[in-house]
């Protein structure tokens, strides 16, 4: 049975700013604490992130509002299908309500929930707060 979860967090920046940073290599690298990332704002483009730990492809892009990506780590087996990552960027009085929904993960996929918080969401909150 595929694993899925959802996390929401408030990021102290406008939705368009957070969306753009996610799809910009230099900003993505910086907001995750310097883990090298090569990303693109083009539909269908491939990406790698977190020092090549993550790889995938952009499936759907709604500028400033939503990103859907095929996503996997080097821990996935060759027989594991890509998982699906959906990010929603909604306006919030303090910036952006970021909703991260991760579906189609392998059976050990719940470990990625804490990984998102530690490697992405907490560093992003700090980076955007310090960028004001």
pTM score over 0.85: yes
Residues 6 or more apart in contact with residue 35 via CB below 8 angstroms: 29, 49, 50, 51, 53, 119
Domain boundaries, the chain: 3-130
Name the CATH superfamily housing domain 3-130. START domain (3.30.530.20)
For residue range 90-126, what is the model confidence (pLDDT) as tens digits? 999 999 999 999 999 999 999 999 999 999 999 999 9
| Tokens describing residue 44 | 């269908």
- Specify whether the CB–CB gap between 114 and 5 falls below 8 A: no
Residues 6 or more apart in contact with residue 66 via CB below 8 angstroms: 60, 86, 87, 88, 89
For residue range 11-54, what is the model confidence (pLDDT) as tens digits? 999 999 999 999 999 999 999 999 999 999 999 999 999 999 99
Select from 61, 81, 79 the least CA-distant residue to 69: 61
């Amino acid at each position: 049975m595929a694993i899925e979860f959802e996390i929401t967090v408030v990021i102290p920046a406008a939705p368009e700013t957070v969306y753009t940073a996610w799809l910009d290599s230099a900003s993505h690298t910086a907001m995750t604490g310097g883990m090298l990332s090569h990303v693109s704002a083009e539909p269908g483009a491939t990406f790698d992130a977190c020092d090549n730990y993550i790889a995938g492809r952009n499936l759907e892009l709604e500028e400033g509002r939503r990103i859907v990506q095929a996503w996997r780590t080097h821990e996935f087996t060759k027989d594991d299908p890509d998982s699906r990552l959906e990010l929603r960027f909604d306006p919030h009085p303090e910036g952006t309500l970021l909703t991260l929904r991760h579906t189609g993960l392998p059976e050990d996929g719940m470990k990625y929930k804490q990984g998102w918080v530690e490697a992405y969401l907490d560093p992003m909150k700090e980076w955007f707060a310090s960028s004001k």
